[in-house]
């Protein structure tokens, strides 16, 4: 087990607490709406636990935000100066890692860009389910860059290879799964359709 602390854990903790407090919810209310235990939410908000992608999906759905939006808000630094000529260096971009599956995500676009673009690396054998509410208020395209993605869109299953894209429709439960033997790398392009 590594002693390296994910620099995003503290920012995710702060963002979850901020979103909860913005709605004037107690921990118990957020637990009830999200289906995540009050104890787990408390550990996340104190920065004692890094949430899994599944837990982030449940929390973002409760906040009526996409997972990408919740993480982008956590990754963003509102006090940071504008990027020079829009350049974002790879070395300066934080990467979030799901402690449960090894799923890795990094934000490609900055907070001021009108669409959110993220790069995802899904290890072989990983499976990440999200509730339908995590896809409310957004339009989203998934573009497979490398590997193979088994994408469950409600009851429909799509096998997507490198170069394939899928534009998501109405919110439904979705699962991102890598049933192959190699890592799958894909991009998520998201545009907000309405404010929650």
Centre a 10 Å sphere on the Cβ of residue 114 and count the other Cβ atoms it contains: 7
Give the residue with greater pLDDT, 95 vs 69: 95
Contact 35, 64 (CB under 8 A): no
pLDDT score for 57: 83
**Could you give the number of structural domains in the chain?**
2
Q: Is 70 exposed, middle or buried (0-12, 13-18, 19+ CB in 10 A)?
A: buried
**Does 87 map to a domain?**
no
Give the residue with greater pLDDT, 14 vs 84: 14
What residue numbers bound the domain in which 117 lies? 94-192
Task: Give how far the C-alpha of residue 154 lies from the chain's centroid of Cα atoms, to the nearest Å.
Answer: 19
pLDDT category of residue 195 using cuts at 50, 70 and 90: low
pLDDT score for 1: 35
Q: What CATH number did the domain enclosing 12 receive?
A: 1.10.260.40
The token pair at 189 is 């392009």
Q: pLDDT tens digit string along 60-79?
A: 888 887 777 777 666 654 43
Give the residue with greater pLDDT, 2 vs 176: 176
Instruction: Enter the pTM of the model.
Output: 0.73
100 shares its domain with 185:
yes
- Half-sphere exposure of 122 toward its Cβ, with a 13 Å CA cutoff? 28
Percentage with pLDDT > 90 across the chain = 46
């Amino acid at each position: 087990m590594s002693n390296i602390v994910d620099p995003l854990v503290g920012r995710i903790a702060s963002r979850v607490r901020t979103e909860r407090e913005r709605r004037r919810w107690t921990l118990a209310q957020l637990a009830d709406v999200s289906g995540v235990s009050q104890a787990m939410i408390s550990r996340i908000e104190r920065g004692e636990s890094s949430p899994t992608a599944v837990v982030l999906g449940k929390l973002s759905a409760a906040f009526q935000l996409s997972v990408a939006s919740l993480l982008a808000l956590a990754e963003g630094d509102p006090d940071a100066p504008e990027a020079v000529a829009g350049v974002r260096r790879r070395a300066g971009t934080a990467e979030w890692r799901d402690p449960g599956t090894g799923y890795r995500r990094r934000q490609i676009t900055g907070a001021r860009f009108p669409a959110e673009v993220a790069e995802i690396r899904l290890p072989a054998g990983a499976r990440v389910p999200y509730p339908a509410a995590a896809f409310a208020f957004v339009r989203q395209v998934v573009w497979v860059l490398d590997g193979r993605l088994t994408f469950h869109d409600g009851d429909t299953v799509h096998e997507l290879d490198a170069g394939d894209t899928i534009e998501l429709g109405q919110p439904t439960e979705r699962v991102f799964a890598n049933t192959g033997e190699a890592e799958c790398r894909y991009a998520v392009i998201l545009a907000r359709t309405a404010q929650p």
